[in-house]
């Protein structure tokens, strides 16, 4: 009896090893693909995200990027590049700000159109989330990809 139990345990161990190896290879392939796509669309980006908005109304705040500004040599500004989805005629306005738990900074315009870039205030040695929101100017819904 112990011998058949040992074989069963050995088989389960091999199956677990094979399952883990397969899962890791699938996950690695997925992660590599995502990384390559992100690097291709924003080669020098620290972080990228997506925000959506509605016709003449600000959409929900996107909080996909956080950043810590350097303690010295920092000019106090963070550049945000953005664009609407390619192949569409979407046109909108984008605002961003540095998020804080208490008293968040006021919204700062980073441009209107189908793409653009803008700069928001970001003091030295500050860690915070970048908040981005967008408003459509010509269609029911707008989607904007942004990067910092």
pLDDT at 129: 87
What is the predicted pLDDT for the residue at 75? 86
Where in the chain are the domains?
1-41, 48-147
Encode pLDDT of 73-92 as tens digits.
888 888 999 999 888 899 99
Over the stretch 21-56, which tens digit does the pLDDT of each residue have? 333 232 223 322 222 233 234 456 789 999 999 999
Give the C-alpha separation, 39 to 44, whole Å.
8
Q: How far apart are CA 51 and CA 56, in angstroms?
A: 15
The topology (CATH level 3) of 48-147 is Hypothetical Protein Tm1070; Chain: A (2.60.290)
- The pLDDT score that the predictor gives to residue 44 is 65
- Give per-residue pLDDT as tens, 13-29: 443 333 333 332 322 23
Kindly report, residue by residue over 97-141, the tens digit of the pLDDT: 988 777 788 999 999 999 999 999 888 888 888 999 999 999 999
Residue listed under structure tokens 């997925």: 30
pLDDT of the residue at 7: 53
Do the beta carbons of residue 116 and residue 133 sit within 8 Å?
no
Query: What predicted TM-score, i.e. pTM, was given to this entire model?
Result: 0.67
Greater model confidence, 3 or 91? 91
In this prediction, residue 128 carries a pLDDT of 84
The span from the CA of 66 to the CA of 10, in Å, is 46
């Amino acid at each position: 009896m112990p011998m058949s139990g040992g074989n069963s345990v050995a088989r389960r161990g091999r199956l677990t090893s094979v399952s883990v190896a397969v899962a890791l290879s699938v996950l690695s392939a997925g992660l590599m693909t995502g990384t390559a796509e992100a690097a291709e669309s924003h080669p020098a980006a620290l972080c990228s995200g997506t925000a959506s908005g509605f016709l003449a109304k600000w959409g929900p705040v996107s909080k996909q990027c956080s950043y810590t500004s350097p303690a010295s040599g920092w000019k106090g500004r963070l550049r945000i590049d953005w664009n609407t989805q390619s192949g569409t005629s979407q046109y909108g306005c984008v605002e961003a700000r540095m998020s804080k738990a208490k008293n968040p900074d006021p919204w700062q315009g980073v441009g209107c159109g189908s793409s653009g870039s803008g700069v928001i205030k970001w003091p030295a040695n500050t860690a915070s989330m970048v908040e981005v929101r967008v408003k459509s100017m010509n269609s029911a819904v707008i989607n904007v990809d942004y990067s910092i």
